[in-house]
Chain A
C-alpha cells in the first residue's frame, strides 16, 4: 500500500448531526444484510453469474448516495449497494436483478450489479470501467441546456478504474464544461488482485485532480463521519456551481473481488491499519459510544433490515425466471428497422 497519512477515526466526537448519522448507519446495515444474503444465495447456487459485495465500503458508498435528491443522477459501481439504497433503489430491484426475475428493472436481460432506472437518475453500469462518468456528464450537460439547474451527478470508481482512458477523458470533459459532477474514488488497495504499486505511480490518487483544476478531498473511507462530511460538502459545492468535485477515500475491500474470489493476495497487515477497519463495526461503536443508540436498538434495526431483505428475496424467488419463447428479441426502439424479428 501507499503511505497513508490519514488519521485514526474519532469515536467520541462527530460533526455530523445524529439523525443523519443514524439514517446513514441504517442504510449501511441494510446493505450489509442484503449483501450477506446474496453471498449466501451464491454459495447455495441460487444466483446465475457473479456476486459482488460492498463489504468494507458501505460508509463511503452510503455517503455518496445520501445527499442526492430527485433530479440528481447517480452512476454506482459494483460495491455501491449502500449508495444505491440511499439514493432510493429498493431491495426488491436488487433482489430481482440478482435472481433474474423478469419483473426487475433489467427484466432478466442484465444481472447483478448491472441494474438501474435511468429515468429515475440511477444509471445501470456497463462493465467497462470509467465509462459511466461521461454518461453522467452528458445528463448534467443536457440538464444545463434544458435550463435545469441545481442538480448534481455523482459516480464512483475504484483505484483500478482511474487508470482507464475513459476516466481521464470524462474528468477532463467535466472540468472543461464545469459540470456539477461529484467523483468518488474508492481506493480499496486492490483492483481485483492488482495492488496500488502496480496500478499507479503517483503518491496519492488525489494528485490526479490537479490536471483537471479540481481541489480533491482525501478521507479515511472507513469513517462514516468523515465520509458524510466530505460527501455532504462535495455535493453542496457541486450543487452551488463550483464545478466538479473529487473525494478520494482510502479503505480496504473486506471481501473478494466477487464471491468466487477468496482474495489470497490481500496483505492481511492492512487490516491492522486505520484503513483496514470494518466501517460498519466502527459506526456501530460510534453510535454506542455517543449514546445515540443502545444495544437493543441496534438489534432491532438489524432485525428490521433482515425482515426487509427476506421479503424482497422471497418475492423475487417466487417470480421465477424469464420465458425465452415470450421474450421480445428486439434490440431497437424502432421496430420497423429491426432485423431478425419474425415476419
Chain B
C-alpha cells in the first residue's frame, strides 16, 4: 500500500469499529452496496452483513432512529451524504440527541459523520462547514480532523464516546491528504496540537484551513524569516483553551482562521477566550480570518476568493506581526 488517504482512514476506522464492537452499525443514504457517495463505506456492507444499511432520504428519521437505537444500547454511525443536509435532521440532533442525557441520564452515543467544507465547483449546498452551528448546543461534541491520523483516531474515539459527536470530515482533504500508515496512538479528543512551532505569531485553526495555514507559514518563513506557530484545534468543542493560551503566551500575537462564516463562529469563540483569559499576553489586537459573508459560490474563481487561502492567511499574518 503506497500510503493511506484521509478518506481511506475514515473507511478503515469504521471497519475497525464494526469489527470490534457489535453495537456499532452504519446508516445513511447510498452507503450499502454502493459504498457511499464518497466511498467512505466501500465494501463494508459486504464485510459486515446487516450492519451497513441504506436509509431513505429522510435525515430527520435517520437521526431520530439513531437516538432510539442508542437508547436500546447500540452505537450508531449516521452518514449524512453532505454536511449541508444535516440541517434537515437538525431538530433531532440538537433537540433530541443533544438533550437526552441531560434530561434522562441515559447516554446517547451516536456519531454523525458530516462530509463538510468547500471543494471547487460544489456551490452553496454541498460546501458548508457546520461546526459553529452544532458547537453552539450543549450536549454535543464537535470534531474537526485535519489530518489522516486524526480522521482515523478521532473517529474511533467518537464511536467510543457516550455522547453525540458531530464528526466534520473535510471533503477537500478526502483525496488531498495521504499518510504512510494508520496511527497506533493519538492525542485524545479535546486536546489541541501544535502543528508547527514558531516564534512571531500564533495561528489557531482546524480542518482544511490547517493546510492553508501551514502553507502560509512556509511562505513567511522563506520570504520574511518570520516563524508562525500553528495550533490545530482537532476538536472545536470542547475547545482546548489551555493549549491556545500557552501558544499565545509564547508569541504574543494571534490570528484565528476558519473556513466557516465569521458571525458567532469558532474564530469568534477563540478570540473571545483569548481576550478574556489572555489579554495580558497580547502584544497586538487579536485577528481572525474567515470566509466571506455570502453563501459559498459555485465558480472556482469565486470559490477560491471566498474562503481563506495560504495567500490571504499569509497577508493577514504579516499585518498582524507588523501591528
- Residue numbers of A with Cβ under 8 A of B are 73, 105-107, 109-110, 114, 116-119, 123-124, 126-128, 131-143, 145-146, 165-166, 169-170, 172-173, 176, 331-334, 336-339
Q: Which residue in chain A gives the minimum CB-CB distance to B101?
A: A333
Rounded to whole angstroms, the CA-CA distance of A245 and B107 in the bound complex is 30
Neighbouring A residues of B74 by C-beta, 8 Å: 142, 145-146
Cβ contacts under 8 Å, A140 to chain B:
68
Cβ-Cβ contact count across A and B, 8 Å cutoff? 146
Q: Is the CB of A138 within 8 A of B71?
A: yes
Name B residues whose Cβ lies closer than 8 Å to a Cβ of A: 25, 50-51, 55-56, 58-74, 76, 91-92, 95-96, 98-108, 138-139, 141, 161-163, 188-190, 235, 237-239
- Are the CB atoms of B65 and A134 closer together than 8 Å? yes
With both chains docked as a complex, state the minimum distance between the C-beta of B144 and any C-beta of chain A, in angstroms: 14
Which of B100, B106, B141 is A334 in contact with, Cβ under 8 Å? Answer: B141
Tell me, in angstroms, the Cα distance from A133 to B92 when the chains sit together. 11
Which of A139, A333, A336 counts the most B-chain CB atoms under 10 A from its CB?
A333
Q: Which residues of B contact A141 (CB under 8 A)?
A: 65, 68-69
Q: Chain A contacts of B71 at CB under 8 A?
A: 118-119, 123, 135, 138-139
Give A128 to B95 CA distance when docked, in angstroms: 8
Which partner residue on chain A sits nearest B59 by CB separation?
A169
Q: Which residues of B contact A136 (CB under 8 A)?
A: 68
Determine the residue in chain A with the shortest Cβ distance to B104: A118
CB–CB A139/B72 < 8 A: yes
B58 contacts A173, CB within 8 Å?
A: yes
Could you tell me the distance between the alpha carbons of A276 and B259 in the complex, rounded to whole angstroms?
58
Query: Could you say which residues of chain A place their CB within 8 Å of the CB of B59?
Result: 169
Task: Please determine whether B161 and A173 come into contact, CB atoms closer than 8 angstroms.
Answer: no
B56: A residues at CB distance < 8 A: 169, 172-173, 176
Residues on A with beta carbons closer than 8 Å to the beta carbon of B237: 339
Q: Does the CB pair B103–A109 fall under 8 Å?
A: yes
B25 touches A334 (CB 8 A): no
B92's nearest neighbour on chain A, judged by CB, is A131
Contact, CB under 8 Å: B69 / A331:
no
CB distance from B235 to the nearest CB of A (A): 8
- CB A328 to nearest CB in B, in angstroms, measures 10
Given A142-B74, A169-B58, A169-B60, residue A134 in contact with residue B69 (CB < 8 A):
no
> CA–CA, A180 to B55, complex, Å?
18
CB distance from B183 to the nearest CB of A (A): 20
User: How many angstroms from the CA of A131 to the CA of B100 in the assembled complex?
Assistant: 13
Query: Can you list 29 contacts pairing A with B, beta carbon distance less than 8 Å?
Result: A116-B104, A126-B96, A126-B99, A127-B95, A128-B95, A135-B64, A138-B65, A138-B68, A138-B71, A138-B76, A140-B68, A141-B68, A141-B69, A142-B68, A145-B50, A145-B51, A146-B72, A146-B73, A165-B60, A170-B60, A170-B61, A170-B65, A173-B65, A331-B101, A331-B138, A331-B139, A333-B108, A337-B161, A337-B189
Closest-by-CB residue of A relative to B110 is A138
> What distance in Å separates the Cβ of A99 from its nearest Cβ neighbour in chain B?
17
User: Which residues from chain A contact B105 at a C-beta distance below 8 Å?
Assistant: 107
How many angstroms from the CA of A326 to the CA of B190 in the assembled complex? Answer: 26
- Residue from the list A107, A131, A142 in contact with B72, Cβ < 8 A: A142
Task: State whether B68 touches A336 (Cβ < 8 A).
Answer: no
Of chain B, the residue at the smallest CB distance from A128 is B91
**What residues on B are CB-neighbors of A145 within 8 Å?**
25, 50-51, 69, 74
How many Å lie between the Cα of A124 and that of B95 in the bound state? 12
Q: How distant is A117 from chain B, measured CB to nearest CB, in Å? A: 8
Q: Are B103 and A114 in contact (CB under 8 A)?
A: yes
Most chain A CB atoms below 10 A, which of B51, B67, B73, B189: B67
B64 and A170 contact, CB distance less than 8 A: yes
Query: Which residues on B sit within 8 Å (CB–CB) of A105?
Result: 104
